[in-house]
Amino acid sequence: MALVTTKDMFAKAYAGKYAIGAFNVNNMEIVQAITEAALEEKSPVILQVSAGARKYAKPTYLTKLVEAAMLDTGLDMALHLDHGGAGLNPDQAFEEIKSCVDGGFSSVMIDGSHYSLAENIELTKRCVEYAHARGVVVEAELGKLSGIEDAVNVAEEDAQFTDPNEVEEFVTKTGVDSLAIAIGTSHGAFKFKPGQEPRLRFDILEDIQRRLPNFPIVLHGASSVMQDWVVKVNNNGGKMPDAIGIPEDMLRQAAAMAVCKINIDSDLRLVMTGSIREYFNMKPDHFDPRQYLTYARANVKELVKHKIRNVLGSSNRI
């Protein structure tokens, strides 16, 4: 077992018309839930770490937790930096990428989506050169995910989506290994307004897929925000009215196309939080964290198994 890049995973996922789950990790219970689910489902898996996760848990704890999960399960895994460079200037962004490449990650994302095309290309290329020289793969992003649900008119909405006319130039000039695109997904648990029909721009995905044959595409903001868990949160003292995610059938459709990596974080948070809220109500006399975290971890594991089996289609691929 070893830390691996996503290269092989993506080639197989593309050919097999399925996707690899990229799950955000922040603590031991989440790492265990995801990796035990992957083991039981015989599925490849990507564990990804955001800047927020690194700040919360400290980078060393996260890399060592992933190392422990590999030892425990015997699985190969990819360790990926999620949204590298977000909120930083280009030099700081490069330093963050460098620190993760040097710190043992097998894959990094440089998120230059808020820059102009030329600036995004320049920053991404710089990161690709550094990472590739050290055997690390790079994901980049074109298009803007956040705020799509707030777009007031079609022209504005279109400006947020990835422009298919830019993808060939971007991939050729940067040498990047995979590309995150904006087709209507967004981060967090409130992706659409109540009453708004969830919609993804499969026409844009199709166009990109035609222009970049066999090239792995990444979908961020792909949590489904399962309604039974929203109800569980709200029935146990939480306040998440109108939390809405991406319907599972849309994710399955994307996974059968060029989308090889599907990012999931909010669903893990939802199940973790819903479980703990429910546990506290069920057992008000318990105060040992191992009791409620055992319950939450088991539910997160079931969620990940469900995703692997019924959404990503990555069961029995190793």
Residue 201 in the binding site for ligand G3H (CB under 6 A): no
Residue 224 in the binding site for ligand G3H (CB under 6 A): no
Residue 67's CB: how many other CB atoms inside 10 A?
15
Residue 186 in the binding site for ligand G3H (CB under 6 A): no
Tokens of 228: 């039974």
Catalytic residue among 8, 82, 91, 203: 82
* Nearest-approach distance from CB 103 to ligand 13P, in angstroms: 19
Residue 201 in the binding site for Zn ion (CB under 5 A): no
Residue closer to ligand G3H by CB (options 24, 32) is: 24
Residue 50 in the binding site for ligand G3H (CB under 6 A): yes
Tokens of 162: 């990835």
The site map against ligand 13P for 62-101 (x = CB under 6 A) is --------------------xx------------------
Torsion of CA 299, 301, 302, 308, to 10 degrees: 150
For ligand 13P (CB under 6 A), the number of binding residues is 14
Exactly one of 125, 126, 191, 220 binds Zn ion (CB under 5 A); that residue is: 220
Tokens of 111: 């998120």
DSSP label at residue 244: B
Residue closer to ligand G3H by CB (options 106, 266) is: 266
DSSP label at residue 88: S
The residue written with tokens 């422990």 in the block is 68
Alpha helix positions (H), the chain? 7-16, 28-41, 51-57, 59-73, 90-102, 117-132, 154-160, 164-174, 202-211, 227-235, 248-255, 266-282, 289-306
Listed in sequence order, the residues at least 6 apart from 232 whose beta carbon sits closer than 8 Å to its beta carbon are 274, 275, 277, 278
d(CA 215, CA 217): 6
* Near ligand 13P in 172-191, by CB under 6 A: 187-188
Residue nearest to Zn ion (CB): 220
DSSP label at residue 185: -
Residue closer to ligand G3H by CB (options 24, 209) is: 24
* Near ligand G3H in 6-45, by CB under 6 A: 24
Q: Is 102 a catalytic residue?
A: no
Residue closer to ligand G3H by CB (options 98, 187) is: 187
Tokens of 91: 């030099």
* Near ligand 13P in 111-140, by CB under 6 A: none
Q: Where in the sequence numbering do the catalytic residues fall?
A: 82
Q: Which positions touch Zn ion (CB under 5 A)?
A: 220
